[in-house]
Amino acid sequence: MRQIEEANNRFYRIVGKRSIDVAASLAGLVALSPVLIAVSLLVKCTSPGPILYWQDRVGRGGKVFRIAKFRSMVAGADKKGPSITSSGDARVTRFGAMLRKFKIDELPQLWNVLLGEMSLVGPRPELPQYVANYTREQGRVFCVRPGITDIASICYRHEEEILGQSENPEEYYRNVVLPHKLELNLQYIKELSLFFDVKLICLTIKSLFV
């Protein structure tokens, strides 16, 4: 029985996961197109600047790619403050705060999934500047595609509030939050299966309303 389960999990990792990603991302982009259009218009109308925000992240195999998000901060925010965001950050727009609260700003990443740069579920991709300090063990997260959601996304659902309580948010993120996230990511890789992915998607949806 255990051998059958391991074989099924292996098949899912190699073939099934990518097939589901393609079908789900394509279906999501089509079904959510009215929402995507509406959000795009609201982003443009409520704050000057581009609709989408593109940022370099490190993906599978250590390859850098451009992740897409609805812009939730003022234009040029990356040049006006730290790479991370904590509660009370003045760079976040009023509409952007709502997008971030319900993770609507992440929806454009369905395009990254369709392109094969990301998966629906997998370790959240980090900035190159943080990845540069990964240990060899932590670097194992690059053996899978990064995802829109993962265990760490659920555990740190209120990350901005957590960082906002620190005197030095960026240092706290580097030394405390990020190492714990990577531990959770390595746990995910070890337990990767269709059942686990479905469970994490359900928990992610539930966490949006907590």
User: What is the predicted pLDDT for the residue at 3?
Assistant: 66
Q: Please, what's the b/e burial string for 55-69 (b: 16 or more CB within 10 A of its CB; e: otherwise)?
A: eebbbbeeeebebbb
pTM for the model: 0.92
> Which residue is it, tokens 């479905």?
198
Which parts of the chain fold into alpha helices (H)? Answer: 2-11, 17-31, 33-46, 94-101, 109-115, 128-131, 151-155, 159-164, 169-172, 178-191, 194-207
User: What is the predicted pLDDT for the residue at 11?
Assistant: 75
For 154, list phi and psi in degrees, rounded to 5.
-75, -45
User: What is the predicted pLDDT for the residue at 37?
Assistant: 98
Report how far residue 169's alpha carbon sits from residue 100's, in angstroms, rounded to the nearest whole number.
Answer: 18
User: What is the predicted pLDDT for the residue at 210?
Assistant: 77
**The pair of three-digit structure tokens given for residue 173, joined into one six-digit string:** 């993120």
Q: Is 16 helix (H, G, I), strand (E, B) or coil?
A: helix
**The pair of three-digit structure tokens given for residue 99, joined into one six-digit string:** 């997008």
What tens-digit pLDDT sequence spans the chain (210 residues)?
A: 676 667 767 878 878 899 999 999 999 999 999 999 999 999 999 999 999 999 999 999 999 999 999 999 999 998 899 989 999 999 999 999 999 999 999 999 999 999 999 999 999 999 999 999 999 999 999 999 999 999 999 999 999 999 999 999 999 999 999 999 999 999 999 999 999 999 999 999 999 987
Report how far residue 89's alpha carbon sits from residue 82's, in angstroms, rounded to the nearest whole number.
Answer: 10
User: What is the predicted pLDDT for the residue at 15?
Assistant: 80
Report the run of H or E that residue 38 belongs to, with start and end.
Answer: helix 33-46
